[in-house]
Structure 1
Amino acid sequence: MPAVRLLPPDRFFDRAEWAAITRASAWRGIWLVAHGWIVSIAVIGLAAWLANPLGWLAAIILVGGRQLGFAILMHDAAHGALHPNRKLNNFLGDWLTGAAVGSDLIAYRTYHLQHHKFTQQPEDPDLSLSKPFPTTRASLWRKVARDLTGQTFFKQRVAQFGFALVGLKAMLRGEKPEKKGASTKAGTPFNKQSDDGMTSPTVDVAGAMAVTRAVGRFLLVQAVLLALSLALYGWTPYLLWLAGLATTFQLYLRIRNIAEHACTTTGSDDPFTHARTTHAGWLARATVAPYWVNYHAEHHLFMGVPCYRLPQVHAALGRAGRHGEMTIAPGYLSVLRQVTAVRA
């Protein structure tokens, strides 16, 4: 299939304006990463201090949103948009965001750019996320139940640790990967969801080693968080973090994935149909839509724009009268109603 057609930015922005919009800030990306950690620590710390089950539940609800936020900021780093310095950009994406939720920046970048090139076409590695929709409400509720009971998290980690073991054995044998980086299959499982636990029947050596390194970073970050939790306030803070990672983070990730592409009219000749933008209120921004991820149509139109400037792009497209050509939903509940329009 042909690659999706790109939209020339000079139709909406002059050269100076476009340069300003696409230029990554030297401090905003760092601040957003810090914001995610500050909010997570504050919410978990307060819940641990209150020692109330309702407070624990609130913490799990909110920390899952910040964990999704780390995945979103890693996504920006994959596009080189989190910081203008490439080494710092990659450090933020690998260690301070991706590792927190078990993702690998380089592997993610490898397959995610393929997603942009062939959005919603057979070559799109994310096609399995939107292809099952529309579906029934019962089917969606079963997925929600698997997310909130930790089943999705468990299947993902079993698959990820299995890949990591293959890579570790190859490293111990002294094998050398044929190419730098990871394959699409190795990169895909730990950032997206599917109902089979996101397993893959084959893993190349380079991809397996990349997963091994990703798991190493993930475990190291978890060990640091656990050590800080035990040193400062016992087991409760870390258990709240882990509960969010195993439950609400998985659910928010699924809803975000559904909203981005499910039930959109997609064609390679019309760049305005590749993705959905969803209006997000304060509750959505705290959970399923952190750090402007809801402006997904704008991101697909101009993928080099940092997340914090996507609202400017949305406004510019509105001034140009192009919102009518885009898929824009009034909220996430309306998207879920749309994608569950099939009767049982």
Structure 2
Amino acid sequence: MSSVNSIFSQETRKKLTKLYKKNNWYNFLCIFFNWGVISSSIYLSMKTPNIWIYLLSIILIGSRMRGFDNLMHEASHKMLFKNKHLNKWVTCFFIAFPIFTSFTTYCKSHVLHHRFLWDPQKDPDTKRYELMGLDKPQKKMSTFLINHIIKPLTLLHVPKYIFGTLKVNLFSKEEPLSERIARLGFWATILVVIAVFNLWLELLLFWFVPLLTTFQIIRYWAEMAEHSGLKTDHPLYSSRNTLGNPIERFILHPHHDNYHLVHHLFPGIPHYNLKKAHIILMENQEYREAHHCMGFFKSFLPGFSSVIEDICGKFIFLRDK
């Protein structure tokens, strides 16, 4: 098995050193931006009662929930904020609790994912990919499109996801009592405010509907893009970058989640520096030949694959690898 140190020269790794620096203010702005988009989407939909505006609103809200997923991921690497208490509790109240995620449970699971990537016994994500049949390249494009692009739109996977979420996040023995009490207090406060101002319909339409619909579709596709079809122990070929158009990146891969290969190679680099790291790594011939997809549904750049093509084994540069 190749190691990152054997793939990249000392000179390249030295260039990356300055990119490890954390920036508290940037992540405060990211959190504020996500909540700003959610608030603006709700305001727009309420001021313009139209089904198409509402659909646009819940897509935007779902994308920001995915943004919370990605900032939660950043916090699990202790990179959201420099102070460990700030890193945990700001994440809990403004990111994790609203989308029913357990900070501690997620962190422990994600450590295993990085340490044992593609190990079916130890990597929780590998188990999910195998269950979905996405651990290896798909044999037939039409079958893949039906099962993994069209079927998620029916939301048939949501009940299983909800059960898994409740089991892992709300009833986990690994979660400390302080987090359970904090989450209970968070939602108790929210529900009191909702009751006082009689905002039950708004809570349903603008939180729980996107939480259970658009967010689940976005999450399914985004997580599928990260590793599907790339079961190998080679660090360069076990994850992919998705360098799609701005709309795709905004909806499916908020906060630079599209540089997923870069993240797995150098997990200590904060999300806002992953693009800079990618540019430096492109000096390496092996890295240039890794999985860099130019779009999710369709590649916008000739000579490169889309994520869908890559998952189906139609990767242009590494077809025989």
Normalised to the residue count of structure 1, the TM-score between the two structures is 0.75
Structure 2 residue 20 is the aligned partner of structure 1 residue 27: no
Q: Pick from 300, 305, 313: which aligns with 2:264?
A: 300
8 Å CA contact 1:298–1:310 kept in 2: the answer is yes
Q: How far apart are 1:281 and its partner, in Å?
A: 1.3
Deviates more, 1:301-310 or 1:328-337: 328-337
Q: How far apart are 1:226 and its partner, in Å?
A: 8.5
Distance of aligned partners of 1:213 and 1:335 in 2 relative to their CA distance in 1, 3 Å threshold: same
Q: Pick from 232, 240, 243: which aligns with 2:209?
A: 243
8 Å CA contact 1:9–1:302 kept in 2: the answer is no
Distance of aligned partners of 1:315 and 1:163 in 2 relative to their CA distance in 1, 3 Å threshold: closer
Q: How far apart are 1:329 and its partner, in Å?
A: 1.0
Q: How far apart are 1:112 and its partner, in Å?
A: 0.8
Question: 2:80 — aligned with what?
Answer: 82
Q: How far apart are 1:94 and its partner, in Å?
A: 1.8
How many angstroms apart in 2 are the aligned matches of 1:141 and 1:216? 41
8 Å CA contact 1:47–1:55 kept in 2: the answer is yes
Q: How far apart are 1:121 and its partner, in Å?
A: 2.3
Q: How far apart are 1:330 and its partner, in Å?
A: 1.4
How many angstroms apart in 1 are the aligned matches of 2:203 and 2:215? 16
Distance of aligned partners of 1:225 and 1:38 in 2 relative to their CA distance in 1, 3 Å threshold: farther
What amino acid maps onto 1:277 in structure 2?
A: N
8 Å CA contact 1:116–1:300 kept in 2: the answer is yes
Q: How far apart are 1:42 and its partner, in Å?
A: 0.6
Q: Identity of paired residues, percent? A: 25
How many angstroms apart in 2 are the aligned matches of 1:150 and 1:280? 24
Structure 2 residue 257 is the aligned partner of structure 1 residue 286: no
How many angstroms apart in 2 are the aligned matches of 1:341 and 1:215? 47
Q: How far apart are 1:216 and its partner, in Å?
A: 6.9
Helix, strand or coil at the partner of 1:12: helix
How many angstroms apart in 1 are the aligned matches of 2:17 and 2:195? 43
Q: How far apart are 1:289 and its partner, in Å?
A: 0.9
Question: 2:193 — aligned with what?
Answer: 227
8 Å CA contact 1:147–1:247 kept in 2: the answer is no
What amino acid maps onto 1:251 in structure 2?
A: I
8 Å CA contact 2:229–2:312 kept in 1: the answer is no
Q: How far apart are 1:44 and its partner, in Å?
A: 1.7
Q: How far apart are 1:314 and its partner, in Å?
A: 0.3
Distance of aligned partners of 1:104 and 1:5 in 2 relative to their CA distance in 1, 3 Å threshold: farther
How many angstroms apart in 2 are the aligned matches of 1:33 and 1:106? 19
Distance of aligned partners of 1:142 and 1:322 in 2 relative to their CA distance in 1, 3 Å threshold: closer
Structure 2 residue 123 is the aligned partner of structure 1 residue 124: yes
Q: Pick from 2, 5, 10: which aligns with 2:3?
A: 5
Question: 2:319 — aligned with what?
Answer: none
| Corresponding residue pairs, total | 297
- 1:73-126 per-position Cα deviation (integer Å, ceiling 9, x unaligned): 000000001111111111122221111211112111112111111111233221
Deviates more, 1:134-143 or 1:241-250: 134-143
**Which sections of structure 2, spanning at least 5 residues, go unmatched?**
298-305, 315-321
Structure 2 residue 159 is the aligned partner of structure 1 residue 154: yes
How many angstroms apart in 2 are the aligned matches of 1:83 and 1:235? 35
Helix, strand or coil at the partner of 1:275: coil
8 Å CA contact 2:62–2:214 kept in 1: the answer is yes
Distance of aligned partners of 1:34 and 1:107 in 2 relative to their CA distance in 1, 3 Å threshold: same
How many angstroms apart in 2 are the aligned matches of 1:81 and 1:32? 13
8 Å CA contact 1:226–1:238 kept in 2: the answer is no
Q: How far apart are 1:244 and its partner, in Å?
A: 1.2
8 Å CA contact 1:99–1:218 kept in 2: the answer is no
What amino acid maps onto 1:263 in structure 2?
A: G
Matches of residues 23-102 of structure 1 in structure 2 within 5 Å? 23-102=21-100
8 Å CA contact 1:67–1:249 kept in 2: the answer is yes
What amino acid maps onto 1:154 in structure 2?
A: P
**Which sections of structure 1, spanning at least 5 residues, go unmatched?**
168-185, 187-205
Matches of residues 189-228 of structure 1 in structure 2 within 5 Å? 206-207=173-174, 213=179, 217=183, 220-221=186-187, 224=190, 227=193
Deviates more, 1:133-142 or 1:29-38: 133-142
Q: How far apart are 1:322 and its partner, in Å?
A: 4.3
Distance of aligned partners of 1:273 and 1:83 in 2 relative to their CA distance in 1, 3 Å threshold: same
What amino acid maps onto 2:54 in structure 1?
A: W
Question: 2:282 — aligned with what?
Answer: 318
Deviates more, 1:101-110 or 1:211-220: 211-220
Question: 1:173 — aligned with what?
Answer: none
Question: 1:178 — aligned with what?
Answer: none
Q: How far apart are 1:26 and its partner, in Å?
A: 2.0
Q: How far apart are 1:46 and its partner, in Å?
A: 0.7
What amino acid maps onto 1:127 in structure 2?
A: T
Q: How far apart are 1:283 and its partner, in Å?
A: 1.2
How many angstroms apart in 1 are the aligned matches of 2:91 and 2:278? 25
